Structure 1
Amino acid sequence: MVSQQFRKQLKWQKGFDWSGSADYQSQNPNRKRGSNTMISKKTSIIVLCLLLGWTGYASATDFDSVAGEVSRLHDQALSDQKQQDIDIDKERKQLLDKIEKLQRTVAKQEESLNAEKAEVASLAEERDRLQSEIGSRLATKEELDNIFLDHIRNFLSLVEKSPQASQKDQLLGTLKSYLEGERIFSLEDLKSLIGMYFDDIKSGAENVRYTAKILDRRGEEQEADIISLGHIEALFTADKDNGFLLSSPGSGRLIMSADPGFFTSREIAAFFNGDKTTAPLDISGGVAINQLSRKETVKDRLKSGGVLVIPILLVGLIAIIIVLERVTFLSRVRSNTDALMTEVTHLVSEGNYKKALETTRPHRNRPTGKVLMVGLVHKGETPEVIEIAMSEALLSQMPRLERFLVTLKVLAAVAPLLGLLGTVTGMINTFQVITIHGTGDPRLMAGGISEAMVTTQVGLAVAIPIMMAASFLGTRVKNLARDMEEKGIALMGALLKHKCER
């Protein structure tokens, strides 16, 4: 009976769902599984305790009373469970409302966050744009500052080189103050600079005459009468000394330039005296005046060419001697052969050969006279013999006439070759200097370059006149040879004509 009732009790317990009230869970699908699990575990523990207690005391207690107790406890548990379900539903509703409220809040916060993100992105874009604009303006400002400083430096350089620099201490001080340290230039500085420009332009168009102390060529102070021709130049006259004035870059004081020469000095004196309304100008900004102190004599120029200038000059000297000798000789042997030939022809036509021979005798040392004498000596011979004799006489005179002409041509070729040799030597020296000292100081290379250029210049200067002289002398020799030939043929014709007439 006990086992039968226990089976009924187990059957009833099967309908209870030990897993936590499956029927109730199926009827309330939205209920949280965590709460059902807690209640099912609690109910299962109670039932198990009762079962264990019941099995322990089954022999002493009536099963029906136990079953009633269990039923009561079951009902109590179901009542508690229903109450808990009500509380849970209420709490769940509250939580759902809270969740919904939180979701609305989250949605609003997300919307606000998205708006703020968009605003941040817009602000970032604005920041980048402003940074780019600031960078561009800073670069423009830096460029404008550099341009401003360049103008100040150029202006300062012009003022320092101006003959009026000694009278513009305030302007020089203002310009130098702009270049000292870091300075932020303003629009007022630009206006001030423009004003200084216009003032300087105005003063540059004025000719001012005044008396001041200058430094002479020995570095001593001397009072002089000065005329400032704008920014172009300044002229002075002092103690019968006239010339140009230069501005010292360091102190701004006026210094006498090198002696400009007799004619220029006389023009400056006439300008001071009012005899002339024009004055010599140096429009190069002082470069031409500075060159006055760097005048090179012929000796200095030749010395800069090195040792190879000496053989070139010797070639020129030898050529001069040869040319003078040849010109003298050719002038001496050339005579008025037309008059001589007319007289000889007239005497031959009369048959007076002895008189004709005596007429040519004084000209025997001249080429044409020698040829005529040979023709008259062979007057009785056949025409062929006469022609051969005169040709031989003509050829015998040619070495005298052409003497040293080949030497002149050789010298004309040697002179430029020596100049070329000097050019190569000078360039070799220049490259050696570059190898040792580099190209930092051009003055170190000036010696080799000067040697290279001067030797070529001297070589050409010697060779060109020699070639012209050789050509001139060669032409003179050709003219003499043609004259001898012409007069020989004329004499031969006169001899043959006289023979035919006899």
Structure 2
Amino acid sequence: MYSILLSAGWPIWPLLIISIIGLAIAIERAWYLRQIHLFPKDSLERVFGVANAISQQKAVSEAEIGAIGQLSPITPLFTCILREKVAGSPADCALEELQASAQSTWFKLDRYLGALATIATVAPLLGLFGTVVGMIEIFGSQGVGSPQQLAHGISIALYNTAFGLLIAIPALAAWRGLRAMANQRQHECEEFTRQLFKKLYPHSADTK
């Protein structure tokens, strides 16, 4: 492996660095999105139980509402709706607060995915850059008649092209898979949030 890196020349090092970064992002996001518990056991029953109590104008403590926000990364959305209802906010104001809170939640689900997409785009370009460097080496070898320099230039051109594609293809596949997983989580979250909103504000329009 080390001999391959030497044959590929210095342009291979940026590719190696972004490949490590891309692998770390893919592993972290896959673990987070697969292991994340959007709705821990009995959490939905707990949320809707509090919603029922609020709808019936029963006393609900701030500590009880705040505890719901600690159940999972998306339950702060539920807490936002519950607090707005307790405060007596109209549906329009509650929906506005909910949308603001949702932006933070979606950011947690999408975190680093943009960087992974960038790596999938940049890797072939870095490979192409290495190919250009290799071609310069080849043309330079023709002036001095050095077979070793010619072979080195060919190695740089071919290895960097191959490495660029070898990084870009899995990175693109990982990004598409993780993007789909994040979208599925977001859809699940939106559906339960919509149900809770309609329960607390039965006469309002559906959330977008």
Q: TM-score, normalised on structure 1?
A: 0.36
Matches within 5 A, 1:332-347: 333-336=36-39, 339-347=42-50
1:300 corresponds in structure 2 to 3
2:107 corresponds in structure 1 to 399
Cα distance in 1 for partners of 2:65, 2:35 equals 18
**Preserved contact between residue 360 and residue 369 of structure 1 (Cα < 8 Å):** no
Letter in 1 for 2:123: A
Letter in 2 for 1:453: L
User: Any idea what the Cα deviations from partners look like across 1:128-170, whole Å, max 9, x if unmatched?
Assistant: xxxxxxxxxxxxxxxxxxxxxxxxxxxxxxxxxxxxxxxxxxx
Cα distance in 1 for partners of 2:66, 2:43 equals 8
Measure how far apart 1:365 and its partner are: 6.4
Letter in 2 for 1:466: A
Measure how far apart 1:466 and its partner are: 1.9
Q: Number of residues paired by the alignment?
A: 198
1:369 corresponds in structure 2 to 75
Cα distance in 1 for partners of 2:170, 2:63 equals 42
**Preserved contact between residue 77 and residue 193 of structure 2 (Cα < 8 Å):** yes
Cα distance in 1 for partners of 2:37, 2:63 equals 19
Matches within 5 A, 1:51-450: 298-331=1-34, 333-336=36-39, 339-349=42-52, 351=56, 354=60, 358=64, 361-364=67-70, 366-379=72-85, 380-437=88-145, 445-450=150-155
Measure how far apart 1:426 and its partner are: 0.8
User: Any idea what the Cα deviations from partners look like across 1:155-204, whole Å, max 9, x if unmatched?
Assistant: xxxxxxxxxxxxxxxxxxxxxxxxxxxxxxxxxxxxxxxxxxxxxxxxxx
Greater relative CO, 1 or 2 (CA 8 Å, sep 6+): 2
Determine what percentage of the aligned residue pairs are the same residue.
27
Q: Which segments of 5 or more consecutive residues in structure 1 lack a partner in the other structure?
A: 1-297
User: Any idea what the Cα deviations from partners look like across 1:198-226, whole Å, max 9, x if unmatched?
Assistant: xxxxxxxxxxxxxxxxxxxxxxxxxxxxx
Greater share of residues in strand: 1
Cα distance in 1 for partners of 2:152, 2:37 equals 50
**Preserved contact between residue 69 and residue 77 of structure 2 (Cα < 8 Å):** no
- Tell which structure's C-alpha radius of gyration is larger: 1
Measure how far apart 1:409 and its partner are: 1.8
**SS where residue 335 of structure 1 aligns?**
coil
Cα distance in 2 for partners of 1:356, 1:486 equals 25
Measure how far apart 1:338 and its partner are: 8.4
Q: TM-score, normalised on structure 2?
A: 0.79
Q: Which segments of 5 or more consecutive residues in structure 2 lack a partner in the other structure?
A: 204-208
Report the CA distance shift for 1:320/1:326 in structure 2 as closer, same or farther (over 3 A).
same
1:456 corresponds in structure 2 to 161
**Out of 478, 482, 494, which is 2:183 matched to?**
478
Letter in 2 for 1:402: D
Q: Does 2:189 align with 1:490?
A: no
**Preserved contact between residue 347 and residue 355 of structure 1 (Cα < 8 Å):** no
**Preserved contact between residue 401 and residue 477 of structure 1 (Cα < 8 Å):** yes
